[in-house]
Amino acid sequence: MLTAKQGEAAAREIEEWAKRIATRLDEGLKVDVYDESDSNTYVLRLAEGARVLIFRLSGSQVRTDGREAECERTLQRKIKDLWNLI
């Protein structure tokens, strides 16, 4: 479980988590997370220079025990996708 919180409080925790992982891979990567309550998702925005990649994690992904590794793999894959953007 990434967080037991909901809404903006959860978004802050998810952002801190994502920044820790992103910094290990690329110190120049900018990470922003915001709560989209209408769809029960958290929108993650990865940016490096002019390259930007946006994706979502569902509320159930971030609040279900045992899914941390899945979320981390998703984030790492999206960071690699960002690197490959032309």
pLDDT digits (tens, 9 = 90+) for 13-66: 999 999 999 999 999 999 999 999 999 999 999 999 999 999 999 999 999 999
Quick check: 69 pLDDT over 90?
yes
Say what the pTM is: 0.93
Find how far residue 9's CA is from the centre of its chain: 14
Give residue 40's region: left, alpha or beta (phi > 0; psi -120 to 50): left
Quick check: 86 pLDDT over 80?
no
What is residue 65's three-state secondary structure?
A: coil
pLDDT (0 to 100) of residue 85: 84
